[in-house]
Structure 1
Amino acid sequence: MLTTGLALFVSTWTAHAGPLTDRVNAGQPVRIGFSNVPVYGFPDEKGEPKGFANVIALDVLKRMGNTNVETTVVDWGGLVPGLHANRYDLITGGMYILNARCKNVAFSEPIAKTGVAFIVPAGNPKKINSYKDIAEKGAVFVTYSGSSTIADAKKEGIAEEKIMEVPGPTEVLAAIKSGRADAGSMTYFEAKFIADQSNGTIQATDPDALPEWTQNWVGIGFRSEDADFVAKFNEALKKYVGSEEMMNSVKEYGVVPAHLRGHPTTEWICSHR
């Protein structure tokens, strides 16, 4: 029933080429905006796009015949505004498909499911494993602007004055290291990566200590007027997700089959998350 509704929505739009399709037909590049988020999307030392969300987006675009691509690194909070300002045609970087975002972003079908974790000083001196722990201890919580975890923290009782917003994961780590904050939220992929690179000074908490509703699905974001392009992207994505090509491409980022199982449709996620 869910997929039927999606099919009807797509068929309504595919009769009319959107701006991105027009750009591609005119020989212009597909412009990708992504934030510097470990594991999901980040630039290497040469500025080339890395991370599993970027890899998946680039591989799927290539399958569609789109090899003329430009990429730009932007602060997390600038991704959606940049998409609407027509600076980018699609955005990556581990963006969760959420009801609030679905009103402003046309997401692809899911590319992975992941949970939230905290980074804390080694030894977890304040014994923080959940949002409720932070609220009860009056601890300072830090995350990056535009993150879905801001709303999650408030929902779980963390006072607004105890929430610190910073540009990205690098600044979250800096706040924890300096003692300005007690726990920093990000996806488990990011938290584990940062902990592994910290020489034993930072640890990642267990994502299973948080409620099930904090589990979310990652998608690639487009503008709603590009629904015809999104439909074609999803067709190629369906054949790509879980393929040997994909698993070989994302292996270095820790993505395993468990992250790909049980995906509902984006339409369902937009209604329930």
Structure 2
Amino acid sequence: MKVTIAYIEEPPFGWTESNQPTGADLDLAEVILRAIGVTHIEHHLTTFSELLPGVEAGRWDMNVPLFVTPERASRVAFSSPVWAIGDGFLVRAGNPKALNSYALLAERHDARLGIIAGQVQHQSARMSGVREDQIVIFEQQSDAIAALRSGTIDAYASTAVGNRVVAGRIGGSVLEAVEHDIVENGKQPLPAGAFSFNKNAGDLLKAVNEQLRLYLGSPDHRTRMSKFGITRREIDPVLVV
């Protein structure tokens, strides 16, 4: 049995290292797919904007996890959630414009925000008052980070976990990660992410979900994810009690 999974360059979830795909989401997919009897796993590197169209058209079998939204769920079939992660900014060291939320960035008319095309951070920013002329859209994370380092943008919006990893790799003297403090009714809501499939891939989706229910939250799962900076905070909210 062969399954092709598409991924994008977005550490710690997925990236290419020494010509080999790696990352938290790909590691999880490997464990789950092997457990359901998949003997050959093929990885397909693509862009974020192509993830949904690609799996919809059957160019590959599944996508690495992305945030679940009603609009996306109308196009693809999502697995059970595998993590829940809040947003954050990547900014230049020292955070020269003191940006720590979408609302604060919206108040700074001289602030520019970088976002990857099609990601949920675009809607989150707009709902918080960020104007469209403050937003710069990129196709690849590497392009957004290059623009941030050059001063073309003042912040790059992505997951808080991903930003921590990128800042750590590049170095705190260059970039730093700023996590958003979002509190709603005394709780901190964290959007959930899940693998996605063609709506006709019912058997594969069912098998994946059954194995996810058995595996998520296990000691092996937690140990594997911790290597990529995915902790109890991101795992526990999606566990089925």
The answer, yes or no, to whether TM exceeds 0.5 is yes
Q: CA deviation at 1:52?
A: 0.9
Which of 81, 84, 90 pairs up with 1:110?
Answer: 81
**What's 2:27 paired with?**
55
Q: CA deviation at 1:214?
A: 6.4
State the distance in 2 between where 1:158 and 1:233 align: 38
Listed one character per residue, the Cα deviations across residues 213-263 of structure 1 (whole Å, up to 9, x for unaligned) are 862111111111112221111111111111122222222101222322232
Which of 61, 71, 75 pairs up with 2:43?
Answer: 71
State the distance in 1 between where 2:53 and 2:165 align: 28
Counterparts in 2 of 1:209 and 1:258: CA distance versus 1, 3 Å: closer
Match status 1:217 vs 2:188: no
Q: Calculate the aligned-residue CA RMSD, in Å.
A: 1.7
State the distance in 2 between where 1:38 and 1:79 align: 16
Q: CA deviation at 1:264?
A: 7.3
Number of residue pairs matched by the alignment: 236
Match status 1:158 vs 2:136: no
The letter of the residue matching 1:241 is L
Report % sequence identity: 26
Listed one character per residue, the Cα deviations across residues 1-35 of structure 1 (whole Å, up to 9, x for unaligned) are xxxxxxxxxxxxxxxxxxxxxxx4xxxx2111101
**What's 2:147 paired with?**
175
State the distance in 2 between where 1:255 and 1:197 align: 16
Secondary structure of residue in 1 paired with 2:224: helix
State the distance in 1 between where 2:169 and 2:204 align: 38
Secondary structure of residue in 2 paired with 1:253: coil
State the distance in 2 between where 1:118 and 1:71 align: 29
CA contact (8 A) 2:101 2:181 kept: no
CA contact (8 A) 2:215 2:221 kept: yes
Match status 1:80 vs 2:52: yes
State the distance in 2 between where 1:213 and 1:154 align: 20
**What's 1:20 paired with?**
none
Counterparts in 2 of 1:210 and 1:38: CA distance versus 1, 3 Å: farther
Listed one character per residue, the Cα deviations across residues 30-89 of structure 1 (whole Å, up to 9, x for unaligned) are 111101111011122122x21111111111000001021111111111111111121110
Which of 39, 43, 57 pairs up with 2:12?
Answer: 39
Counterparts in 2 of 1:214 and 1:258: CA distance versus 1, 3 Å: closer
